[in-house]
Structure 1
């Protein structure tokens, strides 16, 4: 008769079961700890791929303070109001020094395989930029969360056009309005933007509680979200009813048709395959000027060319407008409540 309490007898039974199992399956009887070097070889080898298609509509989006700002009749879809599809999201948590998909790394992979002509300066730049130790992409630090948006099907692997136009989109907004005690006003109306979405990356850098100081003195967290995207607007139109641009130009009663945003002219086209490029980093920050804490948006950059073949003042066209090497750089925003 056993003198062990019930929980003791249960423990003895479990130990007996484990021992019996190890005798029955001797191959499982020995456990070996993996050292850091061994673990580094398997970390990050698995990830998640999401094939995505969607159509987004929002009837009204309203922000209310003393007055209100409204976005009315918003729709995000494929061109001509079709489903936005043919998108692949790859999600990985990087190991130390791991190379993951980023930017035009797929172009570099094809160029290395001889599928694309490296006499094309953009292709040669991609091959040099995204080749890392026999892999293709960008090297990340341990714990970085990396989300890369590309296409499910890029078409002919030897065609740059198929690659660049694999994901088409359309953004439509009926109007953007303000409402206050003195009535309402339309800022923009009849917005329609059609184009192509290039490689887009979201990276959440894992730097713990570390901070750094920007050139303007603001202190920001080194753990930040980094956005990097390429895109092209192939056809766009809007009515600019009442709005200021960079606090300098009032474009009230302006209509724009045939809008295109790309990067095919000028001195900074290399590496962009004719697409406009935008990037920014977001993190918690503290303003050096006010001492306020808020959302820091820093390292903001936009580069592209802008074509407006029909530029109307009221009902009358005044001709066409073109910007070449339009660049926004050295831009930092600190956003907080008041």
Structure 2
């Protein structure tokens, strides 16, 4: 325990030492210290944000949700290709000022196109330049207090190469199995999942608008303070055993083996602005259900767009050929999540 009198003596001696040091400075050095009045201070702000360069590998032995039974994700790993470190990641974190333009989506492509490093004869490049050019800057305009987190690459390679840009961040996701367990036994939904691919620009934005609400098309009320997710990615090689599960409540398969899985956006009528990558967007906030009046977690304005190729599609031990989807789109999707 430190006696209070000792603290006061320490404080006085520290202050005395500071003034002795200050008085010992030459007059030329003292001349550099100038007081700031209120008008000077009003122009001082930190607008640079922070940058985080990240390398990681994530392993989870088991992730479980237990109610009357248990749903478990077993032996999950997120890494770079071939179980290497997930690296070359750069996070920029900013709190926006009023009307501030910050990096978002493919704004880096727009900057390069404007500098003549990429040709606008490529429709995707021309679209990025038109979409992300804002008053001589490149990005998206935000409101005061919005928290903006942008995931990109530390090193994109050659500035004139779109391929380098789109393959700058490689990932590998492996899951041993997804199982359900109850008093009557257990069942495996998926097993031996392995997905390899590339992550494109990904943005998380927390909008600073808690004072307002809005009404969705289905009547649900949602808060204006919401988390907004926008991401692009592609899976170049994937495989999994589909034991028994639904695909987005549309298709139910069992005893299926898929190899050579690819998820992208290279064909069809929905490719513009995506640079061949699948895309997903969603907004998350507090909400109130119009149907039940329940408060819960609203997941709304959900959109997913992709082409999906399954060149090796086995039922049992035999292949039945290939399966593919073109312009696979999930839109106008809203979920209200609450306990019961």
TM-score normalized with structure 1 length: 0.90
1:102 corresponding residue in structure 2: 104
Q: Does 1:122 align with 2:127?
A: no
Taking the TM superposition and a 5 Å limit, the aligned residue runs for 1:156-195 are: 156-195=158-197
Deviation at 1:26, TM superposition (A): 7.0
What is aligned with 2:7?
none
Query: Structure 2 matches for 1:83-98, cutoff 5 A?
Result: 83-98=85-100
Q: Deviations over 1:203-240 (max 9, x none)?
A: 00001321111111001110000000000000001111
Paired residue secondary structure (1:251): strand
Farther off after superposition, 27-36 or 187-196: 27-36
Question: 2: distance between equivalents of 1:80 and 1:29?
Answer: 58
Question: 1:221–1:285: 8 Å Cα contact kept in structure 2?
Answer: yes
| Aligned residue number for residue 325 of structure 2 | 323
Would the aligned equivalents of 1:286 and 1:293 in 2 still touch at CA under 8 Å?
yes
CA distance in 1, matches of 2:103, 2:54: 17
Q: State TM-score, norm by structure 2.
A: 0.89
Corresponding residue to 1:147 among 146, 149, 154: 149
1:41-91 CA distance string (max 9 Å, x none):
x65521110000100000111111100001100000001000000000000
* Residue range with higher mean Cα deviation, 304-313 or 43-52: 43-52
Answering whether residue 273 of structure 2 is matched by residue 268 of structure 1, we say: no
Secondary structure at the counterpart of residue 252 of structure 1: strand
- Write the deviation string for residues 133-184 of structure 1: whole angstroms up to 9, x where unpaired: 1111000000000000000000111000000000000000000000011100
Structure 1 position 32, deviation (Å): 2.8
Q: CA deviation at 1:246?
A: 3.6
Q: Is the 8 A contact 1:44 1:98 kept in 2?
A: no
C-alpha contact (below 8 Å) 1:169/1:194 kept by paired residues: yes
How far apart, in 1, do the equivalents of 2:159 and 2:205 lie? Answer: 27
Matches within 5 A, 1:153-302: 153-302=155-304
Figure out how many residues of one structure are paired with residues of the other and give that number.
319
C-alpha spacing 1:254/1:261, structure 2 compared with 1 (3 Å): same
Distance change >3 Å, CA 127–CA 175, structure 1 → 2: same
SS in 1 for 2:193: strand
SS at the partner of 1:243? strand
Shift in CA distance, 205/253, structure 1 to aligned 2, threshold 3 Å: same
Are the aligned partners of 1:44 and 1:93 in contact in 2 as well (CA < 8 Å)? no
Per-residue deviation, 1:326: 0.4
Q: Which residue of 2 aligns with 1:33?
A: 38
Output the CA distance in 2 between the equivalents of 1:86 and 1:246. 32
Please give the alpha-carbon distance, in whole angstroms, between the structure 1 residues aligned to 2:61 and 2:285: 31
Is the Cα contact below 8 Å between 1:146 and 1:202 reproduced in 2? yes
1:30, 1:183 → 2: CA distance?
Answer: 74
Counterparts of 1:32-71 in structure 2, within 5 Å, are 32-34=37-39, 39=43, 43=45, 45-71=47-73
How far has the Cα of 1:27 moved from its partner? 6.9
- Ranges in structure 1 where 5+ consecutive residues have no aligned partner: 1-9
Correspondence for 1:132 among 126, 131, 134: 134
Q: Which segments of 5 or more consecutive residues in structure 2 lack a partner in the other structure?
A: 1-11
Query: By how many angstroms is 1:259 displaced?
Result: 0.4
CA RMSD of aligned residues (A): 2.0
Q: 1:107 to 1:248 in 2, by over 3 A?
A: closer
